Amino acid sequence: MREKKRAVFKIIYIVLVLAGFAAAMLVLTHTAQNGRRTTEIFPEIVEEPVYVECEEGEPLEVRLKAKEDFNAGGLLLLMVNLSEESRGTVRIAVSDDSSALLLNQVIPAETIVPGKWFSVPADLSFVKGREYLISILADGSEPYFMQVPEGGENVLPFEETVLKNGEPAESGISLGISRVETVSVTYGEILYYSIPVCVAVTLILILGILFGFERMWNRIRKIPFAAFFRKYGNDLFLLLVFLAVCVSIYSRAYLKGVYISADSAGYLREAVNLREGFGFHYDGLAGYHNWFANWPIVYPALIALTMIVTGTDAYLASKLLTMVICGLILLLMRLCFKKDAWVYALCLTNIGFLNLAYYTWSEIPFMLFLLGFSLVLAKILGEEEPHGKWYILLGILGLCCFLTRYFGIYVWIVTGCYILCLLGKYFRSREKRYFKKAAALAVTAFASGSMSMAYLLMNKIKNGMASGVSRSLWWDDYERLTNDLIESLLTEVCNVFSLQIPELIEGFPYNLKVFVVVIVLVGLTLFVIKRYRPFTRESVMIAMSVIYYLVFIVIRYFSSMDSFYFRFFEPASFLLCIGLIGLLLPGIRGKKGLHFLAGAAASLVILAVLAVFENDGMELSDGYYARITGQWDEAYREIPEKSVVIFNDIDFRASYYRPDVVEGTISPADTFESLKETYYGSDYLCIRREFVQVMLESGEYDESVARRLAEGMKEKTEGEFLVIAF
């Protein structure tokens, strides 16, 4: 009788649960009244710092022609070059083709966050085919808009023409739209995940009623989740980080953007020439014998090898190479740090590290070799009688550091410091093992360093300068340089936690930012001193990073190059973080909070990967790189193989894309014969017709040059370029 009652009650409870589920579904699937969907549509912006200025008192006008009928809930703008101290304003006005004023809003400049999209609320209706004018007038401020590349505004529901002083600008501006549509939307769509949550709760309740909640919980507790994650969690997390880094690189640096600096173009150009068998001659395909000495050879050689193995072009090969190197870094961490490797893997989520990975730069392979060198040096210092193979490996890794970045020679400065420490121990204790180790390190440093010097000597003989260009000091604004150093050090600290510099600190003047840097450095120093043990892996990592910072800062103040920024300091920050993690782990290992950190980190990494897919970051149909190369194909369409382009204004990033082409200039003193001698590798001379016209009108150029240009203009009057055969 009791069993029957239980069965009846179970049926009643299940019916009630199903009734509740049905009621919830009825509400969640019901259409909400007055549904509106707002879609923010942004143009693609140029990643490089290139701007369209909005000069004070001179209105910047944007003429729009609607492609379709639509309503807008506001304009989206992205501006830079504004500060909180500014007391100026920015006036935004919108009028239609009958001069009726649709929007007139004055925005205080201090309320605009530089570098972030902000909305100008409005209620605008656009009609297909009609034209509208947006007028942007700065008063007491001079904001800049980011440039939009050709085709970057195609996603917008209007055609855009930017006018400066009545003349069309060369590019669009960072202007988007909040598109508003009347839609039929249910409450389930408004409340994210409400329907699957209701389904899951209903199933759990029904199963609990049928089989008992306590029995279900006991069954779940018996599943060996903890044992599984203890055994495989570390490796799964490493794979997850590797996947996240690869997805981020492929999406951001290939499908949605192109990260090529002047250095990147040089690496890629040399890689293409290496693949074609021209060795160190980075203009070999163009017919020249320029010796590749500005940068060491290892990185372009690795790109060339990746091109051969994968069959891809140079830029994609550089991204694939970066992914492989990130995998090798994680593998090295797994081999050295065992079950703790997942904590060290968090160093790859550093903003600075990821930005390096997006660009085609040599820092990522340099960091792999630097990490390997540090680990091997620590092993040699930590063992009583290290095997000879470790000294050989140390020498190879030291040479690889140098052949990836010339600055890598500094590793032997660090080694020299440790040699002095070993000799000091020997003279205090008279233990021969210290002397033997110091002698072996000295021999290793001498052998590897000699090969590095031989490389520089080869460059000197072939190029005329050991590192390809003059590194002598030119005029520097040392106050600006010091301010950049302070900003860079603060950036390094924040990058570790994947954060930007907090707004409060960002607003500090530089003399106060010094105290922030000092507080951080003092805190880190006290932390390290308290836990420091000589000749440990952690101490070697920290020593490598600190000496890197010091040597680089000193060199920069005595030779001119780019100012201080994340690219230069990230390799040292990477090593420093690994060393600090090693000092911190013994105090927190085994504590429950560490498990929470692992779970939270894994969740964030998973969500970061999902976010890329949700934001169409892996959409292949309209890749940015494919679109850019299409533009380059068009730009080079009239330029034949093995040409010199005079006064070249084609996108500098494309210099590796057409490695058979070189850039050139013509001075008034040049004759046509001297040009042929100078550009001996090229078969054709190309120059834009508009430039030719200016040169001929100036009357300053040699008669032989002017005659050939004039003849060429008469022979062929079509096309953007004048092409003359040498």
Q: Is 218 helix (H, G, I), strand (E, B) or coil?
A: helix
pLDDT at 232: 84
Lowest mean pLDDT among 185-199, 568-582, 630-644: 185-199
The residue-averaged pLDDT of 120-138 equals 91
| Pairwise CA distance, residues 122 & 102, whole Å | 9
Query: In terms of Cα–Cα distance, which of 107, 60, 102, 119 is closest to 82?
Result: 107
Sign of CA dihedral 650, 655, 657, 659: positive
Could you tell me which of 551, 556, 570, 521 has the C-alpha nearest to residue 370? 570
Instruction: Please list, residue by residue across 694-713, b when 16 or more beta carbons sit within 10 angstroms of its beta carbon and e when fewer do.
Output: ebeeeeebbeebbebbeebe
Start-to-end CA distance of the chain, whole Å, equals 108
The residues pairing with 158 across neighbouring beta strands, listed in sequence order, are 66
Q: Is the pLDDT of residue 244 over 90?
A: yes
What is the rounded CA–CA span in Å between residue 601 and residue 604? 5
Alpha-carbon span 139 to 58, nearest angstrom: 9
Per-residue pLDDT tens digits for 527-579: 988 888 888 999 999 999 999 999 998 888 887 777 787 788 999 999 999 99
User: Does 85 score more than 70 pLDDT?
Assistant: no
Q: What are phi and psi of 617, to 5 degrees?
A: -70, -15
507 is written with which tokens?
């607003």
| Predicted local distance difference test score (pLDDT) of residue 52 | 83
The CATH number of the domain covering residues in 37-182: 2.60.120.820
Cβ atoms of 70 and 179 within 8 Å: the answer is yes
CA distance linking residue 583 with residue 585, whole number of Å: 6
Q: What is the mean pLDDT of residues 351-376?
A: 94
CA dihedral 202, 203, 209, 214 (to 10 degrees): -110
**For the chain, what are the domain ranges?**
2-32+186-222, 37-182, 231-614, 625-725
- The pLDDT, as a whole number, for residue 714 is 86
- The span from the CA of 582 to the CA of 576, in Å, is 10
How many whole angstroms separate alpha carbon 531 and alpha carbon 555? 30
Q: How confident is the model at residue 49 (pLDDT cuts 50, 70, 90)?
A: low
- Helices (runs of H) and strands (runs of E) counted in the chain: 24, 17
Whether 32 contacts 96, CB under 8 Å: no
Residue, of 96 and 593, whose pLDDT is higher: 96
Are residues 683 and 640 in contact, defined by beta-carbon separation less than 8 angstroms? yes
Note the pLDDT of residue 361.
Answer: 94
- Closest of 81, 43, 47, 86 to residue 62, by C-alpha: 43
What's the pTM? Answer: 0.83
Of 199-203, 319-323, 497-501, where does the model show the most confidence?
319-323
Q: What is the pLDDT of residue 393?
A: 96
Whether 494 has a pLDDT exceeding 90, the answer reads: no
d(CA 289, CA 620): 39
**Mean pLDDT lowest among 57-71, 549-563, 659-673:** 549-563
pLDDT for the residue numbered 474: 56
Residue with the larger pLDDT of the pair 17 and 185: 17
pLDDT of residue 549: 93
Q: pLDDT over 90 for what percent of the chain?
A: 44
